[in-house]
Structure formats: structure tokens, C-alpha cells
């Protein structure tokens, strides 16, 4: 296969980024784009043409696109509640889907991804770019080398001031407004949880067993709206239900715990709040520091800057991209790598680095955390989406250069 033929569904900020980034890759062409809004179809088609000289065919209906186009893969960057049905339709049409990140609204949604994959054999990839960040990859490498000893606890989260993005959802035709107006749980778990899941071998020797979640009151969004918008603005006429901070604890079959935070409604700097802790060491993202028994020698239990460890422990995936100016492709290079991983899995007919089982388990966190919050923190059980293969070692692993397993 010389160049893979890619479609992109959902052409907001993220879909535009995917379409133009993918059009710039040597081994891919963006042949079709789709959105519910004609103006977005037109502008993204033009942007793709500007990058590669060829204009993709535009669609307003993804089913029509799947029927008419001979696609090898489709990137889905729509609103959270529409990814699953589009991904399932793609698999049933023989097209490999790669989905932007989101959380599920029901457990049945998670199973539908697994079933579509198992019934069709069409590979599906969850596009969690943070799994391919330099820090996250180096940590995975260090964990695999045993530098933390036996890992007992991880922390992660999505801590990002999104007051403007959420409250201006109506003006921007953005889905977050509606989700924050009606839901209460960790609606965006995977930027932090994806990398920690690979470190903890989730679905391959380990699994999530249960989750308990609590939410604070909601004040940030309504306070922001009151200060910044007129009385008749939509954000001043809704009581957002989403607690400002949602905190969850996941218990894993291997005995580890994961503390997960969703914190997007208040004034604060960006963080994914990472912490990896094992018997022989600890890494803390916000402190930018690490303390490892094997490296500290006579100095004992003192923090060292993590930046000093990166060159030494860079993951082979990161090293592969040495020399490519990754910064210009977004999010410090991880966007380029995750898209390259998807394209590579199609070209080489590989099992993807983040597969249907990871997709189902990671996005189940959202609906289970909503249920737990609604029940005052009562633990909720994760289904075993691998039907036991996490235990007997038969869950398929990622293949090729981008493998995270
Ligand atoms: N990985 C990252 O770093 C990152 C960053 C930003 C957004 N995202 C994810 O990307 C996705 C899109 O985010 P966004 O900010 O671009 O959202 P957006 O609301 O700006 O764009 C979503 C687009 O999808 C379209 N859409 C919705 N339903 C559709 C359907 N059935 N058929 C065709 N088009 C449809 C909408 O019309 C809209 O144009 C989300 O899942 C989000 O979580 C990921």
C-alpha cells in the first residue's frame, strides 16, 4: 500500500488539525471529510488542499461517505456522544476507525466497540496522543526497566481551565456546554489514564476492577458566566450540573490504586497531575521531579529534576522521531506520533498500539464515575471487556514500531 486513504469525520478545531496533519504525512492522503456543518466542510477541504494540493470530497453524512469512498481508515473527531456509533459503522463497513478521546455515556457503548471489533476483525485505534508524549513514553520505558520497583500507585488527571470553552459552547457550536449542563462525573479521563494504564499493563496482566467517585459543588462556571456575560446569555440561564472537581479512585486487579482528577471549571494552570510510585521510586509531574533508589546512591531520598533523566531514558518510539521538528505538529510532537502510529498500523496490517479493549476500558471510567457520583461515591464495578484474556495473556498486543505493550 503506497498511501493510505483516510477520511476525517468531525471538523471542529481538532478535526481540522487531524485533516491537515494527516494530509502532510508521506504515507497518507485525506480523500474525504465530513461534518454536519457545510461551512466547516468547505474550510477544512480548503485547508487540506492548501497542504497537499488535492481537495478531498466533502460530506454532511458519514454513512454516505463510508458508502461512496474507498477508505482504508477514518479519523473521528466529533462530539463525545457520537464517536462510538461512527466507529462501529466504520468497522461494519470494513474501514479502520481511529477515535479522538472521549468518555462513554453507557456501558453498552463500550461493549459495542469490543463486539464490532471481534465480529468484524477490523482493527480500531483509540487516538490518545498523551500516550506518545515524551515524558509519558520515558516513564513507560523506566517502568518497564523496573526503575520504580513494583508499582503500587499512580495519579493522573485533566486539570485545565476551560471556563471560556464550556460557557461559550453555544456561540462556538461546541458540545461541552450540553455535557456540563447535564452530567456530573469524569467526562475526560484518558489523557492522564491512558499512559498510566499502559504502565500498569491494564488488559494485559491487569485490569480495572472498581471505581469510586465524588464531585464537589459546581460554582466555577456560573461565577465565570455572571462576571463575563450579559444576563440573557445561555450560560447565565442554566445551572451546570458538573461538579468543579471530580475525584475518583480506581482499584486494579494487581492491587494498585489510581487517583484520577477532572478539574476544568476554575482558574488554574494546565496539568495532567501525574504521579507514578513504586517500591523503589516516585515521579511527580507538577514538581517536575523524580526520586529513584537506583540513581540517588549516597544522596538518599531527595528529589532530582526529571528533565535530567529524559535523555537517558527516552523511549525507542521517541528516539525514532529524533530529528523531526515535532513541535510544529502540535502538543509537543505527540499528535504527529499518534497519527503516524495509526497510519503505520494500516500500512503494515498491525494490531494498533491502543486497541478496542483499551478503548472500552478507558472510556468506561466516564459512565461509571457518573454512576458513582450519583450514588454518593458508591463503588462501581468495571466489566471485564477482555472476557478473561487479561489474565491468560491472550489479549492481543500492539504490533510494530509503536507498540506500548
Ligand atoms: N487529543 C487531544 O489533544 C484533543 C484536543 C482537543 C479535542 N479533542 C477531542 O476531539 C474531539 C473534537 O473536539 P473539538 O474541540 O474539535 O470539537 P468541536 O465541537 O469543535 O467539533 C466537533 C465537530 O463534530 C461535528 N459532528 C458532530 N456530530 C457529527 C456527526 N454525526 N457527523 C459529522 N460531524 C459531526 C460537529 O458539527 C463539530 O463540527 C473530541 O472528542 C475532543 O475530546 C482531543
**Per-residue pLDDT tens for 197-230?**
999 999 999 999 999 999 999 999 999 999 999 9
Q: Ligand 1 pocket check: which of 8, 9, 10 to mutate, most ligand atoms within 8 Å of Cβ? A: 10
Atom 31 (ligand 1): residue with closest C-alpha?
A: 82
CATH, range 130-319+356-392: 3.30.360.10
Compute the distance from residue 82 Cα to the ligand 1 centre, in Å.
9
CATH, range 4-129: 3.40.50.720
SS3 for 78-115 is: CCHHHHHHHHHHHHHCCCEEEECCCCCCCHHHHHHHHH
Confidence of residue 329 (pLDDT cuts 50, 70, 90): confident
Tell which atom from ligand 1 comes closest to the C-alpha of 37: 37
Question: Tens digits of per-residue pLDDT, 356-396?
Answer: 999 999 999 999 999 999 999 999 999 999 999 999 999 99
Confidence of residue 28 (pLDDT cuts 50, 70, 90): very high
Any idea which of 118-132, 140-154, 312-326, 363-377 has the lowest mean pLDDT? 312-326
Percentage above 70 pLDDT, the chain: 99
Compute the distance from residue 15 Cα to the ligand 1 centre, in Å.
6
Question: Tens digits of per-residue pLDDT, 280-316?
Answer: 999 999 999 999 999 998 999 999 999 999 889 999 9
| Phi, psi for 260 (deg, rounded to 5) | -125, 135
Q: How many residues comprise the chain?
A: 405
Compute the distance from residue 172 Cα to the ligand 1 centre, in Å.
12
Q: How far is CA 277 from the centre of its chain?
A: 22
- Ligand 1 neighbours (beta carbon < 6 A): 9-15, 34-37, 40, 62, 77-80, 82, 100-102, 129, 174-175, 331
Tell which atom from ligand 1 comes closest to the C-alpha of 15: 16
**90-105: average pLDDT:** 98
CB 156 within 8 A of CB 260: yes
Compute the distance from residue 166 Cα to the ligand 1 centre, in Å.
14
For residues 26 and 15, give the distance between their C-alpha atoms in angstroms, rounded to a whole number.
Answer: 19
Question: What DSSP designation does 75 have?
Answer: E
pLDDT for residue 1: 65
- Whole-model pTM above 0.95? yes
Beta strands in 87-191 (DSSP E): 96-99, 125-126, 151-159
Statement: residue 239 has pLDDT above 80? yes
Question: What DSSP designation does 128 have?
Answer: -
* In the chain, domain spans: 4-129, 130-319+356-392
Q: Which of 210, 208, 251 is nearest to 390 (CA)?
A: 208
For residues 160 and 165, give the distance between their C-alpha atoms in angstroms, rounded to a whole number.
Answer: 11
Q: Ligand 1 pocket check: which of 11, 12, 128 to mutate, most ligand atoms within 8 Å of Cβ? A: 12
Compute the distance from residue 14 Cα to the ligand 1 centre, in Å.
6
Q: Which helix (H) or strand (E) holds 31?
A: strand 28-34
Kindly provide the b/e burial profile for residues 291-330, where b requires at least 16 CB atoms within 10 angstroms of the residue's own CB.
bbbeebeeeeeeeeebeebbeebbbebbeeeeeeebeebb
For residues 276 and 199, give the distance between their C-alpha atoms in angstroms, rounded to a whole number.
Answer: 9
Atom 28 (ligand 1): residue with closest C-alpha?
A: 78
Compute the distance from residue 35 Cα to the ligand 1 centre, in Å.
10
Q: Ligand 1 pocket check: which of 7, 37, 63, 77 to mutate, most ligand atoms within 8 Å of Cβ? A: 77
For residues 320 and 315, give the distance between their C-alpha atoms in angstroms, rounded to a whole number.
Answer: 9
Mean pLDDT for all residues in the chain? 96
Grid coordinates standing for 257?
A: 490504586
Amino acid at each position: 500500500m503506497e498511501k493510505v486513504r483516510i477520511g476525517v469525520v468531525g471538523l471542529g478545531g481538532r478535526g481540522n488539525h487531524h485533516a491537515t496533519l494527516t494530509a502532510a504525512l508521506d504515507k497518507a492522503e485525506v480523500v474525504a471529510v465530513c461534518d454536519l456543518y457545510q461551512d466547516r466542510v468547505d474550510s477544512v477541504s480548503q485547508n487540506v488542499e492548501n497542504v497537499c494540493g488535492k481537495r478531498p470530497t466533502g460530506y454532511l453524512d458519514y454513512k454516505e461517505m463510508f458508502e461512496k469512498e474507498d477508505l482504508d481508515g477514518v479519523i473521528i473527531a466529533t462530539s463525545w456522544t457520537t464517536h462510538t456509533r461512527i466507529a462501529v459503522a466504520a468497522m461494519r463497513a470494513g474501514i479502520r476507525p481511529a477515535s479522538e478521546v472521549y468518555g462513554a455515556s453507557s456501558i453498552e457503548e463500550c461493549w459495542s466497540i469490543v463486539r464490532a471489533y471481534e465480529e468484524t476483525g477490523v482493527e480500531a485505534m483509540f487516538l490518545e496522543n498523551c500516550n506518545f508524549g515524551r515524558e509519558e513514553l520515558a516513564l513507560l520505558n523506566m517502568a518497564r526497566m523496573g526503575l520504580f520497583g513494583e508499582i503500587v500507585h499512580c495519579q493522573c488527571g485533566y486539570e485545565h481551565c476551560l471556563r471560556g470553552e464550556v460557557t461559550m459552547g453555544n456561540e462556538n457550536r461546541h458540545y461541552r456546554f450540553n455535557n456540563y449542563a447535564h452530567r456530573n462525573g469524569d467526562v475526560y479521563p484518558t489523557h492522564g489514564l491512558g499512559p498510566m494504564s499502559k504502565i500498569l499493563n491494564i488488559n494485559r496482566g491487569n485490569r480495572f476492577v472498581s471505581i469510586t467517585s465524588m464531585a464537589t459543588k459546581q460554582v466555577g462556571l456560573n461565577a465565570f458566566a455572571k462576571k463575563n456575560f450579559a444576563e440573557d446569555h445561555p450560560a447565565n440561564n442554566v445551572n451546570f450540573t458538573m461538579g468543579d472537581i471530580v475525584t475518583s479512585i480506581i482499584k486494579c486487579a494487581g492491587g494498585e490504586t489510581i487517583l484520577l482528577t477532572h478539574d476544568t471549571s476554575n482558574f488554574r494552570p494546565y496539568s495532567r497531575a501525574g504521579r507514578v510510585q513504586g517500591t523503589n521510586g516516585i515521579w511527580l509531574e507538577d514538581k517536575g521531579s523524580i526520586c529513584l533508589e537506583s540513581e540517588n546512591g549516597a544522596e538518599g531520598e531527595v528529589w532530582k529534576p526529571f528533565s535530567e533523566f529524559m535523555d537517558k531514558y527516552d523511549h525507542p518510539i521517541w528516539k525514532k522521531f529524533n530529528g523531526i521538528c515535532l513541535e510544529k505538529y502540535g502538543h509537543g510532537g505527540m499528535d504527529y506520533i499518534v497519527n503516524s502510529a495509526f497510519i503505520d498500523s494500516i500500512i503494515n496490517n498491525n494490531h494498533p498500539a491502543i486497541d478496542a479493549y483499551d478503548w472500552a476500558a478507558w472510556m468506561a471510567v466516564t459512565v461509571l464515575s457518573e454512576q458513582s457520583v450519583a450514588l454518593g461515591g458508591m463503588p462501581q464495578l468495571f466489566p471485564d471487556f477482555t472476557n478473561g484474556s487479561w489474565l491468560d495473556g491472550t489479549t492481543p498486543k500492539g504490533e510494530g514500531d509503536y507498540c506500548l505493550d
